[in-house]
Structure 1
Amino acid sequence: MMAGSGPTVRQRRLATELRRLRELQGLTGEQAARRIGWQPSKISRIEHCISRVKAADLIALLNAYEVSGKVRQSLITLQVSAREQGWWDVYDDLPSDYAGYIGLESDAAAIRCYSMQLVHGLLQTEDYARAVITATMMSEEPAEEIDRRVEVRMTRQAALGKPDPLRIHSIIDEAALRRVMGDSKVMSEQCAHLLAQARQSHVTIQVLPHDAGAHPAVVGPFAILNFPGPHPDVVYIEALASSIYIEADTEVHQYHQVFNHLSAMALNPDDSHTFLHIIATAP
């Protein structure tokens, strides 16, 4: 479990490969550090994605592990891509937790999420997002700052319109649809937007109605991020002052089980669409 901003998938992959190469050499972290002339803690920080791998450090590690040829070049290329700036880096005033999450989201292939009080950010309309951001900032922020946060949220949604789009399966608690953000017009438009999104093959929306009763996610919302290739899933939990990333296989598996349970309890997609239509067209 990791609090704070998380590493991108490319950073995680590089760290995993470096640990694998060390183990192939039969070296412990301490032995590898002595071979290079480092403190053992530096090896640990790199392999656990606490520290980014600098170019010079990568070369030192590859030399110590006797890595050459295509493997060596691929890892050098991976290190370069892992430090490339994402589109969100131009927003240098974003909280580090949020920026870290956007980095993970941008590398994800699919997201399974349960939303309890709010519609997931990838599915929000601009007016709904503005109402949410204004409410959650809880301060007299200038209008320009709110505009920038809304712009970031809308830009995130470009992932759903790519040629190979991000797949999202969103289970939305009825409470999130009944809680008025902005005004009734904003909510009506938000429900209509969800309906439009749900018509796309890569978007699945289910509503968890009040009468479903108690369920295993009553403690709060979560998102499970799935990545291309062999990279393990990550669970993201947003809290008031920070964020938590869950990476342990057994814990991630628990969240998958909870999500499957919620999906079985929720209205099926067709009935969810009917539910959303009723709210969207309510006077």
Structure 2
Amino acid sequence: MAAASGPTVRGRQLGSELRRLREQAGKKIEDVAEHLECSMSKISRVETGKAPIKARDVRDLLHWFGVEDEAQVEAVMQIHKDAQQQGWWAHYEEVLPSGMATYAGLESDARILRSYEPIFVHGLLQTEDYAKAVIGAVRPSELEEIERLVRFRKERQERLTSKSNPLDLWVVVEEAALRRPVGGKEAMRAQIEYLIEQVALPNVTMQIMPTAKGAHIAMAGTFSLLEFEPQTPTVVYVDSIAGNVYLEKERDVRKFIQTFDLVRAAAPDPQETPAILEDLAEEMRKK
């Protein structure tokens, strides 16, 4: 397991380990729920890393599952302890949309992030003016709250320039998203110029899907693939106006991996991106 993982991923690792030990002991979810005197949905959420569990209940379950090796017990308890730590995003939680704190935790621990963006510039590549305009339009609220959400977004972006563990980002964005003057023409031109700087980073890859390409396989909506250390499963994040969904089943993940591979194969080569962005910026300068 990845020693450097943050609380969100460690919570998922704890749940996965408890599920493995439960199955090894021949117990069902309803058995565990009865043993801990709680609902089956609570146990299901614990095993998927979506709900906390008390340390004494973890020890109780390990004993009930027949785990006698003290080193194994302490290893699981250490994972539990790590999962209780607060991430950097905790002081933003009161203003974050539902599920965004979970996403921030996953993104903070990811090694590779692959994303398809049909409507917006990816959050990790947004300027402050662009982010402020997007947040204010999508989620109208008090100026102070919008500014906190912009700071949260800027803090997320630090992963791209981290010296110790930079995030490897690959984004396919629709051309139409880059032509929409979010925040006004000047703000959008500044956003395009900022993208020219960002795609020069060795860990940032962007492809621009031409509008003239017509229909393609990924048009159903925004999604991201978050990849971690080898022993931690990939997570698919699907965002929509109805809410966000996290998919972890192998068949679901495989489907989205295939979709991303097909959409990036259909888009122009990443080496063409700087020239495309330069052309867009030049168009905006003339308007």
Say whether the fold is shared (TM-score over 0.5): yes
More deviation, 117-126/25-34: 25-34
- In structure 1, the partner of 2:252 is 251
* Unaligned ranges ≥5, structure 1: 1-6
- In structure 2, the partner of 1:124 is 126
Relative to 1, partners in 2 of residues 1:40 and 1:186: Cα closer, same or farther, differing over 3 Å? closer
- In structure 1, the partner of 2:96 is 94
Equivalent position SS for 2:159: helix
- In structure 2, the partner of 1:176 is 177
Give the fraction of aligned pairs with identical amino acids, expressed as a percent.
40
Separation of aligned partners in 2, 1:268 and 1:225: 22
Kindly report the root-mean-square deviation, in angstroms, between the aligned alpha carbons of the 2 structures: 1.9
The answer as to 2:217 corresponding to 1:216 is yes
Equivalent position SS for 2:99: helix
- In structure 1, the partner of 2:22 is 22
Q: CA deviation at 1:96?
A: 2.7
Q: CA deviation at 1:196?
A: 1.3
- In structure 1, the partner of 2:82 is 81
Equivalent position SS for 1:224: strand
Separation of aligned partners in 1, 2:36 and 2:124: 46
Which of the pair has the greater relative contact order for Cα pairs under 8 Å at 6+ separation?
A: 1
- In structure 2, the partner of 1:196 is 197
* Structure 2 length-normalised TM: 0.89
CA contact (8 A) 1:32 1:64 kept: no
Separation of aligned partners in 2, 1:233 and 1:129: 27
Residue 111 of structure 1 aligns to which amino acid in structure 2?
A: L
Residue 167 of structure 2 aligns to which amino acid in structure 1?
A: L
Aligned ranges 1:43-62 → 2 under 5 Å: 43-62=43-62
Give CA deviations for 1:80-107 in whole Å, capped at 9, x if unaligned.
1112111111122322322221122112
Separation of aligned partners in 1, 2:219 and 2:181: 20
Give CA deviations for 1:129-185 in whole Å, capped at 9, x if unaligned.
1111111123xx322111111111111101112121111100010011001111222
Relative to 1, partners in 2 of residues 1:37 and 1:8: Cα closer, same or farther, differing over 3 Å? closer
The answer as to 2:107 corresponding to 1:105 is yes
Would you identify which runs of 4 or more consecutive aligned residues in structure 1 move more than 3 Å? 26-34, 36-40, 42-45
Give CA deviations for 1:31-83 in whole Å, capped at 9, x if unaligned.
5566x564572544432434312111111112222333322112111111112
Q: CA deviation at 1:8?
A: 2.3
CA contact (8 A) 2:8 2:105 kept: yes
CA contact (8 A) 1:115 1:222 kept: yes
CA contact (8 A) 1:29 1:40 kept: no
Separation of aligned partners in 1, 2:269 and 2:134: 27
CA contact (8 A) 1:171 1:263 kept: yes
Equivalent position SS for 1:214: coil
CA contact (8 A) 2:22 2:28 kept: yes
Separation of aligned partners in 2, 1:39 and 1:251: 29
Residue 116 of structure 2 aligns to which amino acid in structure 1?
A: Y
Residue 102 of structure 1 aligns to which amino acid in structure 2?
A: A
Give CA deviations for 1:228-278 in whole Å, capped at 9, x if unaligned.
132211111112242111222112111111111111111111112110111
Separation of aligned partners in 2, 1:246 and 1:31: 25
* Unaligned ranges ≥5, structure 2: 1-6
Number of residue-to-residue matches in the alignment: 274
Relative to 1, partners in 2 of residues 1:279 and 1:53: Cα closer, same or farther, differing over 3 Å? same
CA contact (8 A) 2:13 2:49 kept: no
Separation of aligned partners in 1, 2:183 and 2:115: 23
Aligned ranges 1:230-245 → 2 under 5 Å: 230-245=231-246
Residue 137 of structure 1 aligns to which amino acid in structure 2?
A: R
Separation of aligned partners in 2, 1:145 and 1:45: 30
Equivalent position SS for 1:230: coil
Separation of aligned partners in 1, 2:29 and 2:208: 48
More deviation, 148-157/16-25: 16-25
Separation of aligned partners in 2, 1:30 and 1:245: 24
- In structure 1, the partner of 2:8 is 8
* Structure 1 length-normalised TM: 0.90
